[in-house]
Amino acid sequence: MSAEPFAIGLLGHGTVGKAFDELLEERADEIERFNGRRPVINGVLTRDRGRFDEVLAGADLLVELIGGLEPAREYLLRAMRAGKDVVTANKQLLSQHGEELFETARAHNVRLRFEAAVAGAVPVVRVLEESLSATPIERIHGIVNGTTNFILTAMARGSTYQEALVEAQRVGYAEADPSDDVSGRDAAAKMAILARLAFGSPVHLDDVRYEGIEHLHADDLEYARELGLGLKLIGTAERRQGGLSVRVHPTFLYGGHPLATISGAFNAVTVESNAITELTLSGPGAGGRQTASAVLGDVVSVMTGGARPPAPPLALDLIEDVDSAFYLHLDVADRPGVLAAVTKVLGERDVSIKSVVQHGMGERARLVMVTHQVLESRMRTAVAEVAEFDFVRSPPRAIRVIEEEFL
Ligand SMILES: NC(=O)c1ccc[n+]([C@@H]2O[C@H](COP(=O)([O-])OP(=O)(O)OC[C@H]3O[C@@H](n4cnc5c(N)ncnc54)[C@H](OP(=O)(O)O)[C@@H]3O)[C@@H](O)[C@H]2O)c1
C-alpha cells in the first residue's frame, strides 16, 4: 500500500503561486520516488477562491505566496498555532514581524521556511542555516535586488538613470511603481532577514539604514571606471565594534571583488569569515519559476525532516556610525586654489585622500577623489563644509567604497 500523500495548502495563486503549482506537478513523481510520499496541493486560497479554514484543516503544510503584511501574517500564525509547518516567500512580513513568527514556530515546534524571501533561487538561507551553522560569520555583502542591479548595469554601459529604468520596466524587471526597489527598501528588508540568520540578532526593517540609486549620475560610473571601480547597490550586515551594522547603499567596488562582475538582474551574496575567507553564491533573484523552485525546495526539506524550528534570538547592539572609504564627486569652478581648499577642509575632519582625478572643462571642473577609511559622520560633516564653498557648483556626491579585492 502506498503512503498517504503529503497535503499542501497553497495561499496565493499569482506569479509565484501558479509557477509553484506547475513545478510541483512536474516534480511530484521524483519527490515521491526519493521521499516515499507524494506532495499534492489539497486546497488553494486567493481573493475569490477557497476558504482559509478549509485549506488549513486538510493540509500537512501551508505555503504562503500572498505577499504583504495582512492577512499573510494572521494566516501564518494561525497555521503554526494549529501545529502546521509553513513555507513563505514574504520578505516584507519576515523583516517586520519576523520575531513574532519565529517565536510562534518555536512555541509550537513547527518549521518556518523562507528560502525564497531572500535572493530568489539563490540558496543563501539554507547555506547560512545549515552549511555555515558552525562558521563564525564576520560580514555579508549582497546584491539582493535584481531591478537596481539591472539599472546600474545599463548605466555602466552608457544609459542615463531614466533610460535604464524605462528599459527595466519594459522587460518586466521593474514595476510600474519602482519605489520599493530603487529606494533600497526592498534590499533593506532582505538584509534584515540575512542579518538575523547570520548573527542571530533580531533586526527589524526599521533598523536598517538604506539609500537608493535614484540620485546617481552616469558621470559617477564614468569617473569610477577611471579609478578602476564599479558601482552596485550593496547590502551589508557585519560585526562592528562588538555590535552589528546593517545597511544598504550604492557602493563602489574594485574589479577583483566577487560582486563586481554580477550584472543584469542577477543576485549574489558574499559571506566572509576568518574560517572560510570568502564564499559567494549567485543566481536569478526573482521570476515566478525561479522563486517557485526555492519554495518547493523548502517544502521538500520539511518533508524529509531536514529543517529545524528557528533558533532563539541573541541581541546585539546596532551600530549606526561605521567607517568606510568614500568616493567624492565635486563639480567646481576651474580656478587656482580649489584643490588646496578642499583638501584642507577634508584634512581637518580626518578625511585623507587616496586618489584624485581632475577634469578641467573651461569655467567648470570635476574633482573626483577616493578617500581612506573614515567614520561616516566625519565624512558627512566634511562634505557639508565643502558644499559651502562658493566655487562648488552643485551638491557634492559621496558614495562608499569597498576596498577588499580577494585577489
Ligand atoms: N514575483 C517574484 O518574482 C517574487 C520573487 C521573490 C519573492 N516573491 C514573493 O512571493 C510572494 C508572492 O508574490 P507574487 O509575485 O506571486 O504576487 P502576486 O502575483 O501579486 O500574487 C498574489 C496572490 O495572492 C492572492 N491574494 C492577495 N491578497 C489576498 C488575500 N487578502 N486573501 C487571499 N489571497 C490573496 C492573489 O489573489 P488573486 O489571484 O485573487 O488576485 C494572488 O493569487 C510575495 O511575498 C513576493 O514578495 C515574489
Pairing of strands 243-254, 277-284: unpaired
Out of 190, 232, 344, 354, pick the active-site residue.
190
Q: How far is CA 12 from CA 44, 50, 235, 365, in A?
A: 7, 10, 29, 55
For residue 119 and ligand 1, the question of a CB distance below 6 A is answered with no
pTM above 0.75, yes or no: yes
**pLDDT exceeds 60 at position 1:** no
Task: State the distance from the centre of ligand 1 to the C-alpha of 66, rounded, in angstroms.
Answer: 4
Decide which of 237 and 277 is more confident: 237
Task: State the distance from the centre of ligand 1 to the C-alpha of 13, rounded, in angstroms.
Answer: 7
Give per-residue pLDDT as tens, 6-32. 999 999 999 999 999 999 999 999 999
For residue 72 and ligand 1, the question of a CB distance below 6 A is answered with no
Handedness of CA 14, 20, 23, 29 (dihedral sign): negative
Residue 389 one-letter amino acid: F
Q: Which residue has its alpha carbon closest to ligand 1 atom 12? A: 65
Nearest to 279 by CA among 121, 117, 118, 123: 123
C-alpha span between 281 and 24 (Å, rounded):
25
Task: State the distance from the centre of ligand 1 to the C-alpha of 40, rounded, in angstroms.
Answer: 20
Band the pLDDT of 209: cuts 50, 70, 90: very high
Task: List the grid coordinates of 83.
Answer: 501545529
Mean pLDDT of the chain: 93
Q: Which phi and psi angles does 174 have, rounded to 5°? A: -120, 145
For residue 146 and ligand 1, the question of a CB distance below 6 A is answered with no
For residue 98 and ligand 1, the question of a CB distance below 6 A is answered with no
Give per-residue pLDDT as tens, 149-205. 999 999 999 999 999 999 999 998 988 899 999 999 999 999 999 999 999 999 999
Task: State the distance from the centre of ligand 1 to the C-alpha of 157, rounded, in angstroms.
Answer: 33
Pairing of strands 277-284, 266-273: antiparallel
Give per-residue pLDDT as tens, 108-140. 999 999 999 999 889 999 999 988 988 999 999
Band the pLDDT of 404: cuts 50, 70, 90: confident
Band the pLDDT of 266: cuts 50, 70, 90: very high
Cis omega (within 30 of 0) on the bond before 71?
Answer: yes
For residue 170 and ligand 1, the question of a CB distance below 6 A is answered with no
Task: State the distance from the centre of ligand 1 to the C-alpha of 11, rounded, in angstroms.
Answer: 9
Contact by Cβ (8 Å): 213, 151: yes
R_g (Cα) of the chain, nearest Å: 24
**pLDDT exceeds 70 at position 361:** no
C-alpha span between 346 and 236 (Å, rounded):
26
For residue 159 and ligand 1, the question of a CB distance below 6 A is answered with no
Contact by Cβ (8 Å): 147, 168: yes
Q: How far is CA 304 from CA 39, 67, 111, 175, 281, in A?
A: 12, 26, 12, 37, 24
pLDDT of residue 77: 98
Q: Which atom of ligand 1 is nearest to the CA of 66?
A: 24
Q: Which atom of ligand 1 is nearest to the CA of 288?
A: 3
Q: Identify which of 64, 65, 293 to mutate to test ligand 1's pocket (most ligand atoms within 8 A of the CB).
A: 65
190 tagged catalytic: yes
Contact by Cβ (8 Å): 117, 190: yes
pLDDT of residue 200: 92
Q: Which residue has its alpha carbon closest to ligand 1 atom 18? A: 14
pLDDT of residue 362: 65
Strands (E) located in 297-381: 323-333, 353-361, 364-371, 374-375
Give per-residue pLDDT as tens, 217-261. 888 888 777 778 889 999 999 999 889 999 999 999 998 999 999
Nearest to 180 by CA among 119, 263, 92: 92
**pLDDT exceeds 90 at position 3:** no
Nearest to 190 by CA among 136, 267, 135, 266: 267
For residue 48 and ligand 1, the question of a CB distance below 6 A is answered with yes
For Cα atoms 144, 150, 151, give the angle at the middle one, nearest 5 degrees.
110
pLDDT of residue 175: 87
